[in-house]
Amino acid sequence: MLKVIKAKHKFILVLPIFSFFAFSGCNGGSDTSSNATTVTESPAVLDLIGSEIVFNPVIRFTTASECIYDNTLAIESTFPKPSDGAIAAPYVAVKNGDTMTITISPTDASFGEDLVLVLTGWVDLDNDQLIDQFSILPTLGDDTPLPSMTGQFTVNAPSLPNSGLNTASLPDFLGGDSNRSPTLAEWNSYVVGKQLVFIYLDGNVSTLSISSSTSYQTTDSGGNVINGTYDYDMASDSQGKLTLFEENVFTSYSLTDSNGYAVSAVYESDKITTTTNRTAIYDLNFYNTNEIWSASNPNPKAGGLGIHFMRIKDETITSVNEVSTTTNVTLSGTAEGSLRLYNDSSLLD
């Protein structure tokens, strides 16, 4: 049977483990969920302790007066980028009704003046009684304020004022105060419907939108939406295991004969079916959210703050017309980057 030369693509459960996106700009994201709740009162100043906010720079409030400022991922120059990566800096926070004003006063040479953040518009996007998103008006010293942008809590988010929510036993990763890994039930309740953002040490970023307790979506470098499946297990109090599955089927036709010459037409017998099945297993260290560094390269790494992750398996089985080969990626055995949980990962765009 004579066939027109044609390449046919069919994607089934495709997971591009390294679908990378770069941080750029500071415009923030948005969420139009009909379940969103907006409150008119700012959280208490002490509720900031242990939390982390992101609006391109990442700021972790470690105590009532000190924070960590991390702008290692930004590719723009709106906010200072210390040469040492993430730095510690003193801050003062003041609550006034629905507004919280945070003044950060770094001594690093990249800062010529204070960074003042005015936070308002507190929103719970998914009705879990935790503040997810807010508006932020930043100013550097006496300069004119920059345009308003959207910020998010990505670690230990404060609860809504007067909600009565007790977060003492909820894992840090999900917005609570307990330094442990999530159970499967907690994962299904708090992670499903959100985005996992993998920040690699080289600055590359991969995002998985968790659609259900077994499936997710991501986008490849060409902008194509890809569907995949996964499995999460609480391996121990400190460790979680995330397994990602991929299958890709590609059909093409041989365009040369046995002597290497181009053929004028192709037949069904010239069809080549290539199937790839990939399994990647990630070890998630929920105890360790400190900066990632190594003795050989002690300078702070891009995106160092966050849950540490590393692959313990990355295997691809490729079958071409039923002839199979197996490829295993050589892994470092050390942390490859950090993981954060977002309600709206378009904030990174």
Which pLDDT tens digit goes with each residue over 98-118?
999 999 999 888 888 899 999
pLDDT on residue 121: 94
Distance CA 13, CA 343 (A): 23
The owner of tokens 């709206």 is 344
**Mean pLDDT score, 220-239:** 84
Domain that holds residue 59: 2-348
What single DSSP character describes residue 31? -
With H, G, I as helix, E, B as strand and everything else as coil, classify residue 59. strand
Contacts (Cβ under 8 Å, ≥6 apart) of 15: 216, 218, 226, 228, 244, 245, 246, 278, 280
pLDDT at position 338 over 70: yes
Q: 163-221 pLDDT, tens per residue? A: 877 777 788 777 777 778 899 999 998 899 888 988 887 767 788 999 999 999 887 66
pLDDT at 278 over 80: yes
Give the count of beta carbons closer than 10 Å to the beta carbon of residue 327. 11
CB 197 within 8 A of CB 205: yes
Q: In a 3-state reduction of DSSP, which class is residue 347? A: helix
Residue 162: closest CA among 129, 202, 201 = 129
pLDDT confidence bin for 279, thresholds 50/70/90: very high
pLDDT band at 1 (very low <50, low <70, confident <90, very high): very low
Task: Give dist(CA 38, CA 121) in Å, integer.
Answer: 7
The CA distance from 250 to 276, in Å, is 9
SS3 269: helix
Q: Which of 211, 308, 319, 206 is nearest to 272 (CA)?
A: 319
**The predicted structure's pLDDT at residue 260:** 73
Phi/psi for 338 (5° steps) reads -125, 155
What's the domain count of the chain?
1
Within 8 A by CB and 6+ apart from 258, the residues are none
Residue 147 pLDDT > 50: yes
Q: Do 206 and 21 meet the contact criterion of CB atoms below 8 Å apart?
A: yes
Q: 34-43, 122-131, 279-288 — which is least confidently predicted?
A: 34-43
Q: Average the pLDDT over each of 4-8, 54-58, 80-84, 162-166 and give the range with the smallest value.
A: 4-8
For residue 46, the model assigns a pLDDT of: 92
The CA-atom distances, in angstroms, between 21 and each of 71, 74, 145, 208, 215 are 16, 12, 28, 12, 21
User: What is the 8-class DSSP label of residue 7?
Assistant: -
Residue 70: pLDDT above 70? yes
Taking the CA atoms of 224, 227, 228 and 233 in sequence, report the sign of the dihedral they define. Answer: positive
The pLDDT score that the predictor gives to residue 98 is 94
Taking 50 as the threshold, does the pLDDT of residue 7 lie above it? Answer: no
Other CB atoms within 10 Å distance of the CB of residue 256 = 10
pLDDT value at residue 3: 30
Q: How far is CA 5 from CA 250, 257, 260, 270, in A?
A: 15, 14, 17, 10
* Percentage of residues of the chain with pLDDT beyond 90: 29
Residue identified by tokens 């009565």 is 164
pLDDT at 17 over 60: no
Q: Is the pLDDT of residue 329 over 50?
A: yes
Q: Is the dihedral of CA 300, 302, 307, 312 positive or negative?
A: negative
Inter-CA distances, 91 with 45, 105, 113, 205, 273, Å: 11, 6, 13, 29, 60
